[in-house]
């Protein structure tokens, strides 16, 4: 492969990755700036990009910071580094390179191969995580393809046996090339985060506050925690939504560790069978699962049954497992056919629609929407802030 072709391929792949990671960063920021108002952009509300918006791996928490570092900003920094290293490699392999960079050419090739290997290992990890969560982010998949392409090109143009290259990788990391790569990465991360943080906080300041009635009576809903807890959380969720499952378990962990929080679960199945917001087939069993959850609540066992509802069990298997928990299966099945149970589910849906919820999960703290599957550390910080800001409950002026 010629020098010019190698440079062109590496630049095109890196620019494609940079463009894609920029969009993922925009998508992440747009969602966190206005969770209720953001329609999902090019990816859609549930097009798989929830993984990069709200999952546990979507951002890295920063101590003391209101916003974490989006994982997509790491990708952005990686592709900026690859572009810089590609240009340096092109210069070092040219007809008249400076003596310093000519000597660094082997280090550049090894370093780029090592970075491409790391990127592909991380891609495989994220892909496996996405499969486990039940959805694959199509824009993340573009990055997987780009990273595979970078690996192929850097491997084919290495200029030495791959085993020898990896034996010398430590020298590449500590070389001038490694120093440049580290500096560029740090500058890209700092710049990317500053722009991201400034944009999101500015948008939040301009966005209308989405509220539900903080005084709503949740005494008949599935609840956990002290009734007089200073922080009241409403969780609108769909049992077929992978991120609702994550949000539910995060809230369960928070409840186990704190005594100043009360959580009320509200049904919001994204299923046209009972939700008038949905006008096409989507989560085909969500209404059925909500009814089963509601009827488990009628027996006082909602929070015991809810983890099963988030699993993808066929209905007979699900009912068997619920029966094994000690619930009255016949009574539960009869309850699911009771119009009153469906009316209670629809009552939750109407409350969600009144709050202009467009997707799930939607988590409200003292009546104010704070997002979806909020990472645990961030959620604890929001709870602490809510305790200090009783005005969150105050009506708009």
- Give 242-298 pLDDT, tens digit per residue: 778 888 999 999 999 999 999 999 999 988 999 998 888 778 899 999 999 999 999
User: Within the chain, which residue ranges are assigned CATH 1.20.1440.130?
Assistant: 3-206
What are φ and ψ of residue 241, in 5° steps?
-100, 115
Q: Which CATH architecture has domain 3-206?
A: Up-down Bundle (1.20)
Within 8 A by CB and 6+ apart from 226, the residues are 259, 260, 262
Residue 341 pLDDT > 70: yes
With beta carbons less than 8 A apart as the criterion, state whether 318 and 309 touch.
yes
How many Å apart are CA 205 and CA 232, to the nearest integer? Answer: 23
How many Å apart are CA 112 and CA 158, to the nearest integer? Answer: 9
How many Å apart are CA 227 and CA 309, to the nearest integer? Answer: 25
pLDDT band at 209, cuts 50/70/90? low
How many Å apart are CA 86 and CA 64, to the nearest integer? Answer: 36
Residue 172 pLDDT > 90: no
Nearest Cα to 247, choosing from 227, 230, 268? 268
Within 8 A by CB and 6+ apart from 136, the residues are 48, 51, 127, 130
Q: How confident is the model at residue 390, as a pLDDT?
A: 53
User: Within the chain, which residue ranges are assigned CATH 3.40.30.10?
Assistant: 223-393
Mean pLDDT over the full length of the chain: 87
Least confident residue range of 36-40, 198-202, 295-299, 338-342: 36-40
How do residues 218-232 score in pLDDT, each as one tens digit? 888 999 999 899 999
User: Would you say the pTM of this structure is higher than 0.75?
Assistant: no
What are φ and ψ of residue 66, in 5° steps?
-70, -30
Neighbouring C-beta atoms of residue 191, cutoff 10 Å:
14
Residue 391 pLDDT > 90: no
What is the fold, at CATH topology level, of the domain defined by 223-393? Glutaredoxin (3.40.30)
Q: Tell me the two tokens of residue 308.
A: 């099963």
What are φ and ψ of residue 62, in 5° steps?
-115, 120
pLDDT band at 392, cuts 50/70/90? very low
């Amino acid at each position: 492969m010629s020098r010019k072709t190698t440079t062109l391929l590496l630049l095109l792949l890196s620019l494609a990755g940079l463009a894609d990671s920029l969009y993922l960063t925009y998508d992440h920021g747009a969602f966190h700036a206005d969770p209720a108002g953001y329609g999902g952009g090019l990816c859609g509300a549930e097009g798989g990009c929830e993984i990069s918006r709200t999952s546990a791996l979507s951002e890295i928490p920063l101590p003391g910071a209101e916003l974490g570092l989006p994982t997509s900003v790491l990708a952005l920094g990686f592709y900026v580094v690859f572009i810089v290293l590609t240009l340096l490699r092109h210069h070092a392999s040219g007809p008249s390179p400076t003596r310093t960079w000519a000597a660094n050419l082997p280090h550049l090739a090894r370093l780029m191969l090592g970075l491409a290997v790391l990127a592909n290992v991380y891609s495989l990890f994220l892909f496996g995580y996405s499969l486990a969560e039940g959805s694959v982010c199509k824009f993340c998949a573009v990055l997987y393809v780009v990273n595979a392409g970078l690996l192929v090109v850097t491997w084919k143009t290495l200029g030495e046996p791959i085993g020898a290259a990896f034996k010398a990788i430590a020298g590449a990391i500590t070389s001038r090339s490694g120093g440049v790569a580290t500096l560029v990465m740090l500058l890209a991360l700092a710049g990317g985060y500053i722009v991201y943080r400034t944009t999101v906080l500015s948008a939040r300041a301009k966005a209308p506050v989405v509220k539900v009635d903080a005084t709503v009576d949740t005494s008949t809903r599935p609840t956990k925690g002290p009734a007089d807890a200073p922080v009241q959380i409403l969780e609108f969720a769909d049992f077929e939504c992978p991120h609702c499952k994550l949000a539910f378990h995060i809230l369960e962990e928070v409840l186990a560790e704190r005594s100043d929080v009360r959580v009320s679960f509200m049904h919001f199945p994204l299923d046209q069978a009972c939700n008038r917001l949905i006008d096409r087939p989507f989560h085909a069993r969500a209404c059925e699962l909500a009814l089963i959850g509601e009827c488990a609540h009628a027996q006082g066992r909602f929070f015991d049954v809810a983890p099963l509802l988030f699993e993808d069990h066929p209905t007979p298997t699900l009912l068997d497992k619920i029966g094994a928990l000690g619930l009255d299966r016949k009574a539960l099945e009869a309850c699911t056919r009771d119009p009153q149970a469906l009316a209670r589910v629809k009552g939750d849906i109407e409350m969600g629609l009144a709050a202009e919820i467009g997707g799930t999960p939607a988590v409200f703290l003292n009546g104010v929407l704070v997002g979806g599957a909020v990472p645990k550390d961030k959620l604890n910080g929001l709870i602490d802030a809510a305790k200090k800001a009783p005005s969150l409950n105050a009506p708009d002026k």
